[in-house]
Chain A
Amino acid sequence: MLKVKIIFKTFLFGLSLSLLLPVKGWGQFSNADCLNCHGDKTLSRMVKGRTISLYLDEPLFKKSIHGELECTNCHQSIKELPHAEKLASPDCGTCHSDVRGMVSKGLHNLIKDGCWACHGTHDIKSSQVSTSITHKDNRTELCLKCHKDRENVFFTTYQHSSVEFPGGAKGKVHCYQCHDSHRASLPEPVKVCGTCHNKIFAELNKSVHAKAKLRELPNCRNCHSEHKVKAGELVDKFTRLTQEISGCRECHSKETEDYFQGMHGKEFQKKNPDVPSCVSCHGAHGILSEKDPESPIFHNNIIKLCVKCHEDEKLMAKYEQLPQPVVFKAFEKSVHGMAVEEHGLLVAPSCIECHGAHEMRPADDPKSPVNKVNIAHTCAKCHPGIDEVYQRSIHGVTLSKGILDSPTCTDCHGEHDITAVRDPSGRVSPKNIPKTCSACHAEEKIVKKYGLLPVAYDTYKDSFHGIAHKFGEIVVADCASCHGYHDILPSSDPRSSINPKNIPQTCGKCHKGASENFAKGKVHIEATKESSLGVYIVRKFYTWFIGILAILFVAYILLDVLGRRRRRIKGI
């Protein structure tokens, strides 16, 4: 029986050979011929001192996707047996010309071992077979055979090593998904990343960067380090800020330098994770032009942007030296804040018009636009005429000489809570002017230091003007009515509204037809010998006179009452 079986098998083998041979070149040699030698496990050759096995595991080959091909289909340089010792490498492109075309354009074209570095040689399996080294699930491991240095980062820190795909499936993103198996190209980041991150891709396409048509647009890689890429929320906050800033810095170096000059940047350099980075204000992917009303840095959105942090009670509680949320809320109610937020005026200042944007310096920095000596110039950006007048006034002149007690715009108008003059709650409303001026002019230290009229406020309060003002009359003269406001000058200055020459005109604003006699005498009358002798004498006289009269009358009453009592007792 055994014999019969062997004979039958031999027959079948012969039959199959006879069927194949005519196709594969009958009359030449077959795989069996090759195996005569290469079937020997000991067959080998020395290459550069290393022993290379020349054994072909036939069953393995048979199972491979190429198992039905002749050896010579690939090893085409073999024309006769025995063949030369050194042979030209097989050219896969003979059959897989399309793939070869792709590879030749990619980086892997440089690899000497060609296709089989990845695919193997005689044991090539279809990539559809799950055990195949080129099966999609195994491909990353395949890449890592050579790209080993990347392994650690890839599988330990990569967000991409564990991803939840849309639809809920979990898995990892493989090398080929970005790099393409055969092209092995350096991917075009925006496009490649966008295949999955299509929402971000859409944002990017709308961004000012996309519209700018720059030669080299910022791409994902600029900010998200390529293989170490992690979801933002997984990175610690300060690292994230660092990445954001360094990403933008590549192109926007000037703005970044400015940023480092400002408070935010200085704090960043102290590794404070609470500071804003570029992204905090400008947005990340869908960065829009400042002219775009949708942009967070569009003029009318800036207040909202700044108060995101500065009205955050919790955050600001950590920074007591900063203006607290209440200040920002006051700004939103101020004439400027309302103009921006309620009325949408582009000419009204938001935060950055006064404080600067990237170079946001603290007020005690002499270069800060909100430093006391610079404030008038800052306000003058919008109020140039007033600044010109102010600079000529006693307050402007003394401040420019370095007397920092001199008031600048904000000392009278307030800072964030500036109100319109007609707003009765405001510091510069006629109702509150005396209070505002007296903050300095009735302040003993300042009055003494600069030799100001010490009784200005007290005597005003006691004058007809002051009394009427106290009882709510706002048409009556307050400090500014006579002294002016931006153009205040001492009475010795001929340009001053209270210079004796100009007094009739100044008083005449209300007292129609005021004569020169208005200037003959003091306005802030203090009843002392030195200041107003006449008033002093009259007051002294009357004080005594009234006192004596009162005593006499009381004495009269007492005597009369006692006298009547005495007479009644005596019965007269």
Chain B
Amino acid sequence: MEEKIMIERFTRSQRVQHFLLLVSFIILIVTGLALKFHDSWFGKLVITLEGGVIARGIFHRFAAVLLIFVAFYHFFYIIFTRYGHDEFLLVLPKFKDFKAAFQSVKFTLGLSAEHAEIDKYAPPDKFQYWAVVAGSFLMIITGLVLWYQTQAMLVLPKWAIDITRVVHSYQGVIIAVVILLWHLYIVHLNPKRFPMSRIWIDGKVSLEELKVEHPLEYERKYQGVADENK
């Protein structure tokens, strides 16, 4: 059997960032939703397992600090490292993304036999990235307001805090929905990769797969590699 050529799609630094983000998100979502749905069996179970609401708050804030750390790490990563900066440029939304998205839909519906022209990051990938960036930013800001509410209220009136609380609470739900319903499906749960892709651990995809899913990137970077192997 011909051995598959594996390509490292994500570097170790990216995988570490992803892992830290993943850990902080899981803790934040579980403890956050437990508070939001405190009357449900889920809320009661989680809060009891954590050892009460005070302990829940400590877990939540611990994960928040981790998230803030990852956010800063990532910020410096895309500004000060060459590779990080290139990657950032790749993930920036462009007009042709709309065209690609449209083509993907057509392909999925069977209206067109051609794959969309996709570089390293497909429109859903970009959407998720920017959703995480925006969502995290909003959550960090509102979270800090709630964390230091007495200080925040030196500036903000009580009603603003109340709105902040609602925003924080619903934004958390949005992030949970994006991750559970979309991100997990795309990367792990879809029929092709079910039950799990190992990419988040080793960062590798097969060249074959990459060629199908990211034709532009394949042309740009791996055409030569494939030819050599032939």
Interface set of A (CB-CB < 8 Å, partner B): 467-468, 470-473, 511-515, 517-523, 525, 527, 532, 534-535, 538-539, 542-543, 545-546, 549-550, 553-554, 556-557, 559-561, 563-567, 572
Contact = CB atoms under 8 A, between A and B. Distances in A.
Contact of A553 (B109, B155, B181): B181
B170 A515 contact: no
B95 interface: no
Contacts of A549: 174, 177-178
Given A517-B155, A564-B192, A542 B170 contact: yes
Contacts of B113: 572
Secondary structure dominating the interface of A: helix
Given A513-B150, A514-B153, A557 B110 contact: no
Contact of A521 (B54, B109, B149, B162): B162
Contacts of B158: 517-523
A514 B38 CA distance: 27
Given A473-B54, A546-B170, A559-B109, A521 B177 contact: no
B173 interface: yes
A479 to B, nearest CB: 18
B181 A554 contact: yes
Nearest to A564: B191
A468 B54 contact: yes
Contact of A472 (B52, B162, B167, B171): B52
A546 B166 CA distance: 13
A522 B161 CA distance: 11
Nearest to B181: A553
Contact of B182 (A525, A556, A564, A567): A556
A453 B39 CA distance: 23
Given A517-B154, A538-B170, A553-B178, 6 more contacts: A471-B38, A515-B153, A535-B159, A549-B178, A550-B181, A563-B110
B11 interface: no
Contacts of A550: 177, 181
Interface in B202-226: none
Nearest to A559: B108
Contacts of A515: 150, 153-154
B163 A557 contact: no
B98 to A, nearest CB: 16
B153 A518 contact: yes
A527 B35 CA distance: 18
A514 B162 contact: no
B107 to A, nearest CB: 7
Interface in B161-195: 161-163, 166-167, 170-171, 173-174, 177-178, 181-182, 185, 190-192
Given A468-B53, A471-B53, A520 B157 contact: yes
Nearest 9 interchain pairs by C-beta:
A521-B158, A521-B159, A520-B157, A542-B170, A563-B108, A553-B181, A517-B153, A471-B53, A468-B53
B156 interface: yes
A515 to B, nearest CB: 5
A564 B186 CA distance: 13
B150 A512 contact: yes
Residue of A520, A522, A543 contacting most chain B CB atoms (<10 Å): A520
Contacts of B166: 527, 535, 538-539, 542
Contacts of B28: none
Interface of B: 35, 38, 47, 52-54, 105, 107-110, 113, 124, 149-151, 153-163, 166-167, 170-171, 173-174, 177-178, 181-182, 185, 190-192
Contacts of B173: 542, 546
Looking at A521, A525, A557, which has the most chain B CB atoms within 10 Å of its CB?
Answer: A521
Given A549-B178, A561-B191, A473 B163 contact: no
Contacts of B174: 542, 545-546, 549
A538 B142 CA distance: 14
Contacts of A557: 181-182, 185, 190
A477 to B, nearest CB: 13
A535 to B, nearest CB: 5
A471 B159 contact: no
B181 A535 contact: no
A455 B12 CA distance: 53
B107 A561 contact: no
A521 B153 CA distance: 11
B52 A471 contact: yes
B110 A566 contact: yes
A539 B163 CA distance: 9
Contacts of B151: 513
Contacts of B47: 471
B125 to A, nearest CB: 13
Nearest to A556: B182
30 contacts: A467-B35, A468-B53, A468-B54, A471-B38, A513-B150, A513-B151, A517-B153, A517-B155, A517-B157, A518-B153, A518-B158, A521-B161, A521-B162, A523-B158, A532-B162, A534-B160, A535-B162, A538-B166, A549-B174, A549-B178, A553-B181, A553-B182, A554-B181, A556-B185, A559-B109, A561-B190, A563-B109, A563-B110, A564-B191, A566-B110
Contacts of B163: 534-535, 538
B170 A521 contact: no
A109 to B, nearest CB: 97
Nearest to A570: B110
A559 to B, nearest CB: 5
B162 A546 contact: no
A567 B110 CA distance: 8
Indicate the member of A468, A471, A538, A550 with the most B CB atoms within 10 Å: A471
Contacts of A518: 153, 158
Contacts of B171: 542
A467 B150 contact: no
B117 to A, nearest CB: 18
A517 B110 CA distance: 59
B147 to A, nearest CB: 12
B154 A563 contact: no
Contacts of B149: 511
B155 to A, nearest CB: 7
